[in-house]
Amino acid sequence: MYRSLGTVRGVRFAVLGMATAFLASLALIFPSRTVVDAPHPLIGKYCMSCHDAEEHEANLAFETLDFSHVGANAETWEKVRRKLSAGVMPPAGNPRPSKAEADDFIEVLTRKLDATPPAPAPVILRRLNRTEYANVIRDLLGLKIDAASLLPPDAASRGFDNISAVLSTSPALIQGYLDAGMKISRLAVGDLSTEAERTVYRAPPALSFAWSGSRSRKPATRASWLALFSGP
């Protein structure tokens, strides 16, 4: 009886060992999806258990990042570099890379980040200042206006009044631009309420014409006179 129990236990251990070896071989042949999708082997080995699309700790999923083009997510990769350099990641209690592994990864990542061109500065939409506004009206409509009498003064920074950050808007400023636009438009197109008028200019009776030498005795075509008119 004891011998039969020992035989059963031996068979169980043998089956368990074979199953373990089989699973280990499958892991070598078919690595987990997490490791396959990792942007770097070190990331897949030590970081993807928390920072993948499923766990998504700290809103970070390494599957969405490309280690070959760190410039596309330079800010995120810079955070990874800082935390790994400080030793705060992976967190205490979790498997951590050796110093050699971490140093090699940090060196490569730092080199890639240094080679990435800086992102262009954002362009801030700004309005025209008073001087620019007057120049635009002059160029478009041919009118010379006194912008200082139409618009409030512009804010300045270090002597410059054309900096986007200080050229803010306010309800009073917008109303000032509307009032200025109405005045300028009246100057440009005139008073639309004015009715059309007709004026006939007659030649003075004492004006003489030089007659041509033709038989028709018609006035010479070169005869002319000038009338000066001043209107609105």
- pLDDT tens by residue, 56-88: 778 887 888 888 888 888 888 888 888 888 888
Per-residue model confidence as pLDDT tens for the chain (232 residues): 444 545 545 555 555 556 555 444 444 444 444 455 667 888 888 887 788 777 777 888 788 888 888 888 888 888 888 888 888 888 887 888 888 888 888 888 888 888 888 777 777 778 888 889 999 999 998 888 898 888 888 878 888 877 777 888 888 888 989 999 988 988 888 766 767 677 777 777 766 555 444 455 555 445 566 666 555 5
Which pTM value belongs to this model?
0.41
Domain ranges of the chain: 31-114, 130-189
Q: How many residues does the chain have?
A: 232
Asked if residues 95 and 120 have their Cβ atoms less than 8 Å apart, the reply is no
User: 67-85 b/e with 16+ CB inside 10 Å = b?
Assistant: beebeebbeebeebbeebe
Would you state the pLDDT for residue 78?
87
Q: What are phi and psi of 160, to 5 degrees?
A: -110, 130
- The H helix count followed by the E strand count for the chain is 8, 0
